[in-house]
């Protein structure tokens, strides 16, 4: 191989190595930037416990804390349905005021089996708020987002004509090991005719 050929091969190899290192540097910078964005999002936008979308404009969760406020702002909430009897904390009340969010409180005691008394009339009142699109977007929450919230959502599903097995599957997905037979019995026996407002959403 002539000297000129060797020189050209060497120069080509050097250029190849430079391109490779340049590519590695660019990729590394992009990955570093992307990971920073993801970490930033996780720090600034933390959903409440058991958060999920129920339907268009309807959400559910456990009790939201101050760490969750930035995330809640992204939902542009108009209303919150609070299913516990305890007073709403001052920090949460201030958050509602500053974001012009209306609070609907339906104080349902957090009874444990076998001493359970789920007030059907209160569930109906909460459902009427959920069904009124003027209150959307709306967040339904209790303490853990399992039992009281699960009952309201389960009764909503019956209004949407979901089959009972699908209603129970959804309830159990959030309640997990804490699922209660009494809650499921309540949803099974819930009389949809007691809620006069019709609701047209997804069936299942």
C-alpha 153/C-alpha 140 separation (Å) is 9
State the residue for tokens 């702002």. Answer: 73
Structural Rg of the chain based on CA atoms: 26
**CA pair distance 41, 60, nearest whole angstrom:** 21
* Catalytic-role residue among 84, 124, 142, 201: 142
Told to judge if 142 belongs to the known catalytic residues of this protein, a careful annotator would answer: yes
> Residue 118 has which token pair?
């789920």
Torsion angle of the four alpha carbons 40, 43, 47, 53, in this order, in degrees rounded to the nearest 10: 10
Terminal-residue alpha carbon distance, the chain: 75
**52-55/102-105 β-pairing:** unpaired
Q: What's the Cα-to-Cα distance from 141 to each of 93, 124, 136, 150, 193, rounded to whole Å?
A: 15, 15, 14, 9, 24
Q: Which residues are catalytic?
A: 142
């Amino acid at each position: 191989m002539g000297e000129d050929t060797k020189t050209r091969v060497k120069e080509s190899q050097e250029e190849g190595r430079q391109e490779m290192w340049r590519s590695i540097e660019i990729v590394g910078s992009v990955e570093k930037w992307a990971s920073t964005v993801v970490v930033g999002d996780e720090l600034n936008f933390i959903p409440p416990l058991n958060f999920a979308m129920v339907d268009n404009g309807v959400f559910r969760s456990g009790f939201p804390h101050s760490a969750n406020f930035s995330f809640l702002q992204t939902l542009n909430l108009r209303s919150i349905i609070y299913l516990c009897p305890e007073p709403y904390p001052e920090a949460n009340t201030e958050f509602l005021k500053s974001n012009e969010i209306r609070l609907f409180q339906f104080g349902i005691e957090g009874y444990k089996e076998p001493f359970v008394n789920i007030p059907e009339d209160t569930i109906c009142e909460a459902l009427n708020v959920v069904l009124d699109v003027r209150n959307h977007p709306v967040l339904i929450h209790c303490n853990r987002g399992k039992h009281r919230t699960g009952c309201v959502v389960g009764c909503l599903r019956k209004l949407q004509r979901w089959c009972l097995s699908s209603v129970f599957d959804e309830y159990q997905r959030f309640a997990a090991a804490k699922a209660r037979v009494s809650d499921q019995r309540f949803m099974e026996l819930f009389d949809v005719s007691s809620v006069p407002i019709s609701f047209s959403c997804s069936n299942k």
